[in-house]
Amino acid sequence: MMEQSDSETEDIKPLLRRRDTEEFQKVPACCSSRYGLAFLSCYGFFVAYALRVNLSVAMVDMLRNSSSGNSNSSVCHPHSTPVPRHNHTARVYDWNPETQGWILGSFFYGYIITQIPGGYLARKYGAKWLLGLGILCTVIFTLLTPLAADLGSAYLIAVRVLEGIGEGVTFPAMHAMWASWAPPLERSRLLTISYTGAQLGTVVALPLSGQICFYLDWTYVFYIFGAVGLLWFFLWIGFVSSSPSTHKRITEAEKNYISSSLKNELSPSSDYIPWLAILKSMPLWAIVVAHFSYNWTFYTLLTLLPTYMKDILGFSIQQNGLLSALPYLGCWLLALMGGQLADFLRERFLIRTVIVRKVFTLVGMVGPAVFLLATGYTDCNYILAVAFLTISSSLGGISASGFNINHLDIAPSYAGILLGITNTFATIPGMVGPVIARSLTKSNTIQEWQTVFYISAAINLFGAIFFAVFGKGTVQPWAVQRIHIQ
């Protein structure tokens, strides 16, 4: 399952040999432009995910009644005594479980539209403005969310779709940017710093949204996070460039280091795209299946975990956000550590990239499946339930150095387009997962939630095995057009 051809056994050694030459002198990470990009893009994904998940917590406070018809009821005994609420002026709504599912899933109907176009446009015109304007679009419609909710559920769904359209370009654009910025032996580190902003945004947004709902009201959730997003946009436009060659403050040493490390991986043409070869590539479909499978569990929990905490485990709005954030705190920490470990194993011990990617994917997908299943059998033991959910999501963070960045290993020149393709399929779980989960949990019983966890775990396991069989770790022949210089 893990064996590769001889051509794939030497993917690290040439890089190490070139690293020791004069043209390939490694530039320290401290104060470098590439790590500056990593941290500012981390802030950007923090914003993107904070704006994506805050509705999950606000929804609990936006409803007149819980889905079971009694705002004080839950399957398990409540874990806190009622606390006097502040005088709230925001409206509440009578949305049934089906409507809630459509509202929570509607973001992804817009998100799926701009995945492939985002990768193409970023490659052709540059990723800086595309990514910046994409998140700005999400910020603007987030600020309009309270108005849309007052107008009706259909308007709120429309606004969430438009948010998704804006945010859909973010990951493809960022992958396209990293194709020009990330030296191969630093790829795991740089990309995990960048993309773990998503988990960090979730970690902060979930508990903070609960506090905002309690002390102010749910409308301020969207106003406050919208303002944070506006600040990021101005920083991004002022300090970021799409490539090292256009960056105003990068040193010549760092520019030469990055260009030398990538010179044998990137296609010299920005116009030619081998669409047929891309679509026929089994390593790409291995990423598609893994990405789809992982996101099924990720998005189901992302949108419905606050509901599970309230309706099953009996946690209040204040406790809800904090406890719902714990799984993503663990995911963030393990993703960061996994990125360091992955590059360390490749550089220090010369472990092939394909082995690293497959092992990290297996651990990051099989582990979460096991603990997710265990969660369904904790009954009302809320300590075990929260612990298992936290371990499940934490282990998922390891896959950030597995299939999640494999696009850059097999086709760095087309990484944005490849991510657009895989993320298109991986967005489908966000569209249908919450709707299916809410339709399966109409009575909010533990048995119904067990079914939801079984489905998620089975899909996760299948994706991990598929990637382990068909995944690759080196640049594919169709991804590089060689130019022979005499």
CB 199 within 8 A of CB 326: no
Residue 204 lies in a domain: yes
Q: What would the pLDDT profile of 248-259 be if each residue is shown by its tens digit?
A: 899 999 999 898
Task: Check pLDDT > 70 for residue 11.
Answer: no
Better-predicted residue by pLDDT, 385 or 12: 385
Question: Is the residue at 80 inside a domain?
Answer: no
SS3 content of the chain, % helix, strand, coil (to 5): 75, 0, 25
Domain with 283 in it: what CATH number?
Answer: 1.20.1250.20
Q: Is 296 part of any domain?
A: yes
Q: How many domains are there within the chain?
A: 1
For the range 82-87, what are the long-range contacts, defined as Cβ-Cβ under 8 Å and sequence gap of 24 or more?
83/214, 83/316, 83/318, 85/214, 86/214, 86/215, 86/216
Residue 85 in domain: no
Task: Look up residue 364 and give its amino acid.
Answer: G
**Contact present, 439 and 320 (Cβ < 8 Å):** no
| Residue range 370-407, pLDDT digits in tens | 999 999 898 888 889 889 989 999 999 999 999 999 99
Calculate the alpha carbon distances from 421 to 105, 228, 396, 424 in Å: 20, 30, 21, 5
For residues 277-298, average pLDDT: 95
Q: Which two tokens stand for residue 111?
A: 């998100």
Place of tokens 């893990």: 2
In a domain, 144, yes or no: yes
Greatest CA separation found in the chain? 79
215 vs 86, more confident: 215
- Give residue 159's identity as a one-letter amino acid code: V
**Considering the domain boundaries, does residue 82 fall inside one?**
no
Per-residue model confidence as pLDDT tens digits over 436-473: 888 888 888 889 999 999 999 999 999 999 999 999 99
Supply the pTM of this predicted model.
0.82
Q: Across residues 421-427, what is the average pLDDT?
A: 94
The answer to whether residue 452 sits within a structural domain is yes
Domain extent, residue 239, equals: 6-75+93-479
pLDDT value for 322 = 77
Give the span between the Cα atoms of 106 and 154, in whole angstroms: 10
Rounded to the nearest integer, the mean pLDDT of the chain is: 86
Give the residue with greater pLDDT, 268 vs 192.
192
Residue 383: per-residue pLDDT: 87
Cα 443 to Cα 25, 50, 74, 79, distances in angstroms: 62, 29, 11, 21
Q: Helices 187-195 and 317-348, interaxial angle, to 10°?
A: 170
Kindly state the average pLDDT of the residues 5-24: 52
484, part of any domain:
no
**DSSP annotation of 30:** T
